[in-house]
């Protein structure tokens, strides 16, 4: 079809902008677009950054949360979906509310601390364990780890240099225990049967602003994130009533007293909660949080985002703003090794599911949905593309673009088209390939899915040759 003059003009401007600022910037935040995620908890293990999240159900109007999710990256822009490593069903004694948790490694085992509601309606913290960061996790105790009956949510765990592990948690109170080396029991010789309540003083957590849904003397609300950096302990937390912002306190000791330091992320957007998760990775500092940025987003349909930041010289935080761009890419993706289709920088219209061939696959693929993969290094050039696909319908096509989609006024480079036939079943996997032209150097890669109405096919992995 011939493009009109105005379309040509817009396309020209688009190309000009592309030349100036690289590729057209499709947002990279939120990190996950296939489900709503909240309460981020990053963990670096070996050379990979794992991200654990809670999960808001689609169209939710309450905190209806049944499982936790896991994602990983090595470049801070492309995230691989590892599915559901832990769910409420794994705790036979729990009833509901799979809220904010944190996973930590000790001696090659991974311990996932999570809050749940018990069958008697009270809250508690449980702990699950796995030999792999991506699970599956199983209930480590067969019963709860700790309960005070006073808002037992949002556990955060840190292992100090001397090997002592601490777990802080709570809303509206703040508690900690000193975990034993086994990570599934705690020192009962301190506090009240081992549980120490942190004094919520104005000096430690800032003066209450009267905005809380119930009366608070300080800004502390929930979602503590506890860690140490350069000998200084940090408690970063969701604060200031609803809608929340994120504040922090520091201390020279793991157990306080804490000194209030101010706001890091001001209130922004339409989610009434926020939740911090921090880590350093490959020499960069990252702040994870959640907001309402995905279409359909709100207080109960949240999405995890990330920003890179630099600590000030005295260890204090700069103010951090929420962005659509997220952090700068810190690696390149090698397209000549098998890449899971669920390794995604940004996508629209697709979902993921457990794959019969192992791991996850991308499903719910419909006409015009797409996946973007950022920073793909084709080096001297690719000649062909191979993918594992399955279709119980008529199938469709994968159009492979570099730098942009070609859609509306956007112009990318179409380097190949893979025909996906019916394979006889939604999990009947077949490898299909097509020729590739002009794919050299580093590019953002787009898979645009094309076909008739309805679900076209599923997509497990891909590779260029
Ligand atoms: O996601 C449910 C709850 O909302 C979390 O546990 C809190 O931190 C808040 O984000």
Q: State the closest ligand 1 atom to the C-alpha of 97, by its place in the atom list counted from 1.
A: 2
The string of pLDDT tens digits covering residues 343-357 is 999 999 999 999 999
User: Can you tell me the distance from the alpha carbon of 156 to that of 24, in angstroms, rounded to the nearest whole number?
Assistant: 38
**Ligand 1 contacts CB of residue 99 (under 6 A):** yes
**Ligand 1 contacts CB of residue 218 (under 6 A):** no
Average pLDDT, the chain: 93
* Gap from CA of 98 to ligand 1 centroid (Å): 9
Question: So what's the pLDDT on residue 214?
Answer: 64
Give whole-number Cα distances, 298 to 41, 57, 170, 278, 294, in Å.
20, 12, 23, 23, 9
Question: So what's the pLDDT on residue 411?
Answer: 86
* Gap from CA of 115 to ligand 1 centroid (Å): 10
User: Can you tell me the distance from the alpha carbon of 354 to that of 210, in angstroms, rounded to the nearest whole number?
Assistant: 46
**Do you find a cis peptide bond into 29, omega within 30 degrees of 0?**
no
Question: So what's the pLDDT on residue 388?
Answer: 98
**Ligand 1 contacts CB of residue 55 (under 6 A):** no
Is the pLDDT reported for residue 106 higher than 90? yes
User: Can you tell me the distance from the alpha carbon of 155 to that of 110, in angstroms, rounded to the nearest whole number?
Assistant: 15
Architecture of domain 339-464: Sandwich (2.60)
Question: So what's the pLDDT on residue 370?
Answer: 97
* Gap from CA of 223 to ligand 1 centroid (Å): 7
Q: State the closest ligand 1 atom to the C-alpha of 154, by its place in the atom list counted from 1.
A: 6
Sheet holding 303-309, edge to edge: 277-281, 284-291, 303-309
- Please name the helix (run of DSSP H) or strand (run of DSSP E) that holds residue 458, with its range, or none: strand 458-464
Residues in Cβ contact with 448 at an 8 Å cutoff, skipping those fewer than 6 apart: 368, 369, 370, 398, 399, 400, 401, 405, 406, 407
Is the pLDDT reported for residue 254 higher than 80? yes
Ligand 1 pocket mutation, candidates 36, 38, 96, 173, criterion most atoms within 8 A of CB: 38
The partner residues of 346 in beta bridges, in order of sequence, read 372
**Ligand 1 contacts CB of residue 54 (under 6 A):** yes
**Do you find a cis peptide bond into 136, omega within 30 degrees of 0?**
yes
CB–CB of 276/300 below 8 Å?
Answer: no
Is the pLDDT reported for residue 21 higher than 80? no
Tell me if residue 89 falls in helix, strand or coil.
Answer: helix
* Gap from CA of 325 to ligand 1 centroid (Å): 24
Instruction: Give burial (CB, 10 Å; 0-12/13-18/19+) of 10.
Output: middle
Question: So what's the pLDDT on residue 2?
Answer: 35
CATH classification for the domain delimited by 32-309, as one of 2.20.28.120, 2.115.10.20, 2.40.40.20, 3.30.420.40 = 2.115.10.20
Is the pLDDT reported for residue 401 higher than 90? yes
Question: Quick one: how far is CA 333 from the chain centroid?
Answer: 19
**Ligand 1 contacts CB of residue 273 (under 6 A):** yes
Query: Taking the CA of residue 300 as centre, how many other CA atoms within 13 Å lie in the half-sphere pointing to its CB?
Result: 10
Q: State the closest ligand 1 atom to the C-alpha of 39, by its place in the atom list counted from 1.
A: 10
Is the pLDDT reported for residue 372 higher than 70? yes
User: Can you tell me the distance from the alpha carbon of 86 to that of 121, in angstroms, rounded to the nearest whole number?
Assistant: 21
User: Can you tell me the distance from the alpha carbon of 225 to that of 248, in angstroms, rounded to the nearest whole number?
Assistant: 9
**Ligand 1 contacts CB of residue 68 (under 6 A):** no
* Gap from CA of 206 to ligand 1 centroid (Å): 21
* Gap from CA of 160 to ligand 1 centroid (Å): 25
Q: What is the mean pLDDT of residues 379-386?
A: 97
To 5 degrees, how large is the angle CA 139–CA 141–CA 144?
Answer: 90
Question: So what's the pLDDT on residue 213?
Answer: 61
**Ligand 1 contacts CB of residue 100 (under 6 A):** yes
CB–CB of 459/362 below 8 Å?
Answer: yes
CB–CB of 392/404 below 8 Å?
Answer: no
Is the pLDDT reported for residue 249 higher than 90? yes
**Ligand 1 contacts CB of residue 169 (under 6 A):** no
Tell me if residue 202 falls in helix, strand or coil.
Answer: helix
Ligand 1 pocket mutation, candidates 66, 124, 222, criterion most atoms within 8 A of CB: 222
What residue ranges do the domains of the chain occupy?
32-309, 339-464
The string of pLDDT tens digits covering residues 304-336 is 999 999 999 999 999 999 999 999 999 999 999
User: Among the listed ranges 60-64, 93-97, 227-231, 249-253, which one has the minimum average pLDDT value?
Assistant: 60-64
In the structure, what pLDDT confidence band is assigned to residue 212 with cuts at 50, 70 and 90? low
Q: What is the mean pLDDT of residues 67-86?
A: 98
Question: So what's the pLDDT on residue 408?
Answer: 78
Residues 400, 403, 405, 406, CA torsion sign: negative
Is the pLDDT reported for residue 286 higher than 70? yes
Ligand 1 pocket mutation, candidates 35, 36, 37, 39, criterion most atoms within 8 A of CB: 39
Q: What is the mean pLDDT of residues 23-32?
A: 72
Is the pLDDT reported for residue 277 higher than 80? yes
């Amino acid at each position: 079809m011939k493009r009109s003059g105005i379309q040509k003009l817009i396309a020209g401007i688009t190309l000009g902008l592309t030349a100036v600022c690289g590729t057209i910037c499709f947002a990279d935040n939120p990190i996950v677009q296939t489900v709503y995620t909240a309460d981020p908890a990053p963990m670096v293990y070996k050379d990979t950054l794992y991200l654990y999240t809670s999960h808001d159900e689609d169209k939710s109007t309450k905190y209806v949360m049944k499982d936790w999710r896991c994602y990983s990256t090595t470049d801070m822009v492309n995230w691989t979906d590892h599915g559901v490593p832990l769910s409420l069903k794994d705790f036979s004694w729990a009833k509901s509310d799979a809220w904010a948790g944190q996973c930590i490694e000790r001696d090659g085992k991974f311990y996932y601390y999570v809050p749940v509601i018990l069958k008697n309606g009270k809250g508690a913290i449980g702990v699950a364990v796995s030999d792999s960061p991506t699970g599956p996790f199983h209930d480590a105790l067969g019963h709860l780890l700790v309960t005070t009956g006073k808002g037992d949510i949002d556990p955060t765990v840190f292992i100090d240099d001397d090997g002592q592990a601490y777990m802080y948690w709570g809303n509206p109170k703040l508690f900690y225990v000193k975990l034993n080396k086994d990570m599934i029991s705690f020192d009962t010789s301190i506090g009240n049967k081992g549980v120490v309540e942190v004094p919520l003083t104005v000096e430690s957590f800032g003066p209450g602003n009267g905005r809380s849904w119930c009366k608070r003397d300080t800004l502390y609300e929930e979602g503590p994130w506890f860690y140490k950096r350069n000998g200084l302990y940090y408690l970063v937390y969701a604060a200031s009533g609803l809608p929340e912002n994120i504040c922090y306190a520091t201390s020279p000791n793991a157990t306080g007293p804490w000194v209030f330091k101010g706001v890091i992320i001001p209130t922004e957007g339409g989610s009434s909660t926020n939740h911090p998760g921090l880590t350093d990775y490959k020499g960069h500092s990252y702040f994870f949080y959640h907001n309402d940025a995905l279409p359909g987003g709100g207080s109960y349909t949240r999405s995890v985002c990330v920003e890179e930041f630099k600590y000030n010289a005295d260890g204090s935080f700069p103010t951090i703003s929420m962005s659509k761009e997220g952090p700068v890419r810190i690696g390149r993706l090698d397209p000549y090794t098998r890449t899971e289709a669920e390794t995604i920088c940004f996508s629209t219209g697709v979902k993921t599911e457990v794959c019969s061939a192992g791991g996850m696959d991308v499903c719910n693929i419909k006409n015009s949905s797409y996946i973007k993969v950022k920073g793909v290094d084709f080096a001297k050039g690719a000649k062909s593309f191979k993918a594992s696909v399955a279709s119980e319908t008529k199938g469709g096509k994968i159009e492979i673009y570099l730098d942009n989609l070609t859609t509306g006024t956007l112009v990318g480079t179409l380097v190949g088209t893979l025909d996906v036939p019916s394979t006889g079943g939604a999990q009947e996997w077949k490898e299909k390939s097509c020729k590739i032209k002009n794919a050299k150097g580093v590019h953002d890669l787009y898979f645009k899915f094309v076909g008739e109405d309805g679900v076209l096919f599923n997509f497990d992995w891909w590779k260029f040759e």
